[in-house]
Every structure is written in C-alpha cells, then in structure tokens.
Chain A
Amino acid sequence: MSLADQSVSPSARPLVKLSNIRKSFGSVEVLKGVDMAVQEGQVVAMIGRSGSGKSTLLRSINGLERIDDGVIEVDGECVDPSQIDLRALRLKVGMVFQQFNLFPHLTAGENVMLALKVVKKQDKAACRAAAEAALSKVGLGHKFDAYPSQLSGGQQQRVAIARSLAMAPKVLLCDEITSALDPELVNEVLSVVRQLAEEGMTLLLVTHEMRFAREVCDSLVFMHGGRIIEHGPPAELFDRPQTPELAQFVGMVEAR
C-alpha cells in the first residue's frame, strides 16, 4: 500500500518514504509493516484511535523510536534498523512534541539558538538573527528574552515550532501538538501550522483536530492496529469511508 500513486505530483520522488516499517515493544507489535510516501510540500495527517501506532510511526521517522525492520528515507538520507548515527536524518526532520519540551533554563531566544550554535556551528550574530526571524514567524518576536515558565502553553508550543523551524528542516513532524493545550489556546498554534502549510512546508501531523485535518491537509492516513488501512484526500475519507473501522472512527469523532 503506497501513497505515492496519488500524490500531488506523481512523477516527483517522494521526500519521505517509509518501506515496510515494523516495530515491537516487547511482545506487542505496534507497527506491522507500514509503507508510506510523502511528497515535498504535502501536508499529511495521521489519524486513528490511541494505540493504533500513529505516534510511534511519527517518532520513528526521526529515529526517536528505533525500528525493527524496514527503511526510512528522507530527502536521500536512508535509515534502517542497523543505523546508529541518526544526526544526518535529524537535520532534515524537525519535531514538535505534545508537551512542548522547551528547555526550562533557557529563554525563548536561547531555546531557538542552542542547536544553531552547537549543531550548525553558526556564529553568534547569525544564530541571533535566525532565532529572531523564527520567533517573529510564530508571532513571538517580542518574547525573545522570556523564559518558558513565563509563557502560556500556546506560546510555549509556538516557541517549540520556531525552535524546529530555525534548523530549516525539510519536513516537520507534529505529534499531537495541541493535545496538552487549554481549548482557548489551540487556535493560535493551529494557525501557525496552517500558515506553514500555506507556505509549502512539508508537514506530517498526528492530530485529533479533525476539522483542522479536513481543512488544511492534502491527505489523511488512517491507522488501525499498526497498519495504514485507508489513505486519501480528507473529504473522501470522511465522507466515504471504505472500511468499517474508519466508518466507526469517523462516527465517533463526529459525534463529539
């Protein structure tokens, strides 16, 4: 099962290509051979019940979960289970987490500058300029010197997005990035993601925001029991689910 056949430009080589990804935690197999391809500029949301493997799949794309079998390819960087050094991959893949994971001892600006300094070895002025640009992009240019504890959850998550963007990744992974936010703060984060999508950033999201997925994403991936069992344009999946699992899932989320 591949998404490549229905991508925006079928001739292009996919930016992210997953082949037969398998992963077990102990005796529980959470990914049972997942294939997937994402074209540059595509916005893809992974949906499914908790435990379906969507977060594990997302986390495996930048090596936070080591896969047991299969190959991950991102912009020419290949990773298989034997790989130990994942840094080349991680420079191409940014990640934003549910719990923000800002460094609490550093200001917003320092959070963004840290990896520019120690990973990309940029000089002070370049780091500062890049951090200011990234924070402005998420609407927090004025919070450069604020510590995470002085920011709201929504602001912290936007700093986390800026921190990833500043590294100029080819693809940004978002792992339930609004799930830990108070309801009134969700939109400020989603509008940043929407803006990135409009600018052509390649995005892979695990999300429970179905309306957002429907409006912003080019493609949806429905996971169930460690497999992708349906994929396609959002309208198609929501309006004409082909499997009883997806029909049930859509019914559940729409009843909310």
Chain B
Amino acid sequence: MAYRFDFSSLADYTPVLVQGVATTVGLTLIGGVLGVGIGIAGAAARSSGNAPVRFAVGSYVELIRNTPFLVQLFFIFFGLPSLGVRLPEWQAAVLAMVINLGAYATEIIRAGIDATPKGQIEAGASLGMTGPQIFRYIILGPAMGKIWPALTSQIIIVMLGSSVCSQIAVEELSFAANFIQSRNFRPFEVYFLATALYLALAIALRWLLARLGDRMFRGGARV
C-alpha cells in the first residue's frame, strides 16, 4: 500500500511555517546566549565561590537536571501566576529555556574549568593577577574550547526541546506544523516537512557553532 505524498496543500501555509521557523530560531538564539551566560556565571561560582553560593548553584543544577523540561515550562507559565508573576507565552518559553540550558551549561563548563592545569593558575597568580582576572583571561577561554563540542550538543538539544513550547501556544515550528495539519489534514506531509526543517536547523546550528568555536577559542583547541 503505497502512500502518495501530496505537498501541494502546504504551499498556502508557507507564511505560517516561516513564522514558526523564525520563532524557533529566535527562541534558540536568545535562550542559547543567555543560557551559556548563566552557565559561565554558575560554573565560576561553583568553582570559586564560597560554600553557600556553591550549595545554591549545585541545588539549582540538580533541580533542573532531574526534572522534565515540560514541567519546568508549565511551572513558569501556569504556576508562577499564582504568585502574581504572569509572563506572556514567549517570555515564559525563553525563561524556561534559559534556566534549563543554564543548569546543563554550568555542569559542562565546570568540567572544562576543572581541567585547567594548576600551573597556569599559579603562573597567573605569580604575575600579580587577581582571581577574577585569572578566571577571565586564563581559565575561561581554554575551558570553553575544551567543552565547546559538548556545549554545542546541549544547545542543539535545547533548540529541539523548544518544540515543547508549543504546549503553551508559543507559535514556533511544532506549533505551526500542528496548526497546519489540523487545517489541511495532511499530518504525514506536514510532520515530514517539520522534521526536515528541524534537521536542517540542527545541522546549520552545529556548523555555525563549530565555526564560532574555532574563531573564539582557537588556542583552546590547540592544547
């Protein structure tokens, strides 16, 4: 029983798909940048901060890594309004992604920081550099270079995971696909296309991040 693909009915929905792709890209971009930023701050705090700070960051990391993203998203979108914090869908989605990526990125980046040879830290100290200067100029770059492939994978996981945000009516790619198939009744074609688009986005993002890593952490990769 051969299935006959018919993509013709999809043409009318091109603007919806474009809108969906743009939203997914936008969520990933903002979530990725802010999430990695939180990861760097969290890793720095966890490696060098005082005990209460280390405990707080550790708790955050474990809480996020051991609960489902969907529940985290619902907690922010449906739960927080009970405390008077009412976020629009889009902002709730970004916040959930940032918090989620931030926790994973903290752990990944910390591994890179831990791999810094002690002698390099001593060399910085013996040149009169302060702890924060040593972190920023000596530790961070090579650490990011070492863990960049792992971080890239995590950012892609978060991009793919953003499909979950359709559950709170964020009009990203999955939401668009769902919307279209409910109108044209061609779910196979629609999800076939959505899958292809996610795949293309993921490959493009991986390629872009690899280039970015080469440029930013050139030396780190040389170690």
A interface residue numbers (CB < 8 A to B): 62-64, 86-87, 90-91, 93-95, 97, 99, 101-106, 114-115, 118-119, 147, 149, 160, 163-164, 167
- Is B217 among interface residues, defined by CB-CB distance under 8 A? yes
Q: Which of B117, B129, B138, B218 makes the CB contact (< 8 A) with A119?
A: B129
- Contact at A104–B123, with CB atoms within 8 Å? no
* 18 pairs of residues in contact across A and B, judged by CB atoms under 8 Å: A64-B125, A64-B126, A86-B125, A87-B130, A95-B126, A97-B119, A97-B122, A97-B123, A103-B142, A104-B142, A105-B219, A105-B222, A105-B223, A115-B124, A119-B128, A147-B219, A147-B222, A149-B222
| In contact, B142 and A87 (Cβ under 8 angstroms) | no
Task: Tell me whether B219 and A106 are in contact (CB under 8 A).
Answer: yes
Q: For the complex, give the distance between the alpha carbons of A97 and B120 in Å.
A: 10
In the complex, what's the smallest C-beta–C-beta distance from B10 to chain A, in angstroms? Answer: 48
**In the complex, chain B residues whose CB is within 8 Å of the CB of A114:** 127, 129, 137-138
Residues of chain B at the chain A interface (Cβ within 8 Å): 117, 119-120, 122-130, 133, 137-138, 141-142, 145, 217-220, 222-223
A94, B123: Cα distance in complex, Å: 9
Tell me whether B123 and A101 are in contact (CB under 8 A). Answer: yes
Of A105, A106, A163, which one neighbours B127 at CB under 8 angstroms? A163
Shortest Cβ distance from B179 into chain A, in angstroms? 47
Which of A63, A86, A105 has the most CB atoms of chain B within a 10 A radius of its CB?
A105
Instruction: Kindly count the residue-residue contacts between A and B in the assembled complex, taking CB atoms under 8 Å apart.
Output: 79
Closest to B142 in A: A105
The smallest C-beta distance from B92 to any residue of chain A, in angstroms, reads 38
Question: Are A167 and B127 touching (Cβ within 8 A)?
Answer: yes
Chain A residues with Cβ below 8 Å from B223 are: 104-105, 149
Asked if B137 and A64 sit within 8 Å, CB to CB, the answer is: no
Q: A106-B219, A147-B222, A149-B222 are in contact. Are A101 and B120 (CB under 8 A)?
A: yes
Which residues on A sit within 8 Å (CB–CB) of B138?
A: 103, 114
The smallest C-beta distance from A95 to any residue of chain B, in angstroms, reads 4
Taking a contact as CB atoms closer than 8 A, the residue among A90, A94, A99, A147 that contacts B125 in the complex is A90
CB-CB under 8 A from B129, the residues of chain A are 114-115, 118-119
* A90: B residues at CB distance < 8 A: 125-128
Task: Determine how close the nearest CB of chain A comes to the CB of B174; give it in whole angstroms.
Answer: 39
**Bound CA span A101–B125, Å:** 12
Question: When the two chains form their complex, are residues A103 and B123 in contact, meaning their CB atoms are under 8 A apart?
Answer: yes
Of all chain B residues, which has the CB nearest A110?
A: B219
C-alpha gap A102/B127 in the complex (Å) = 12
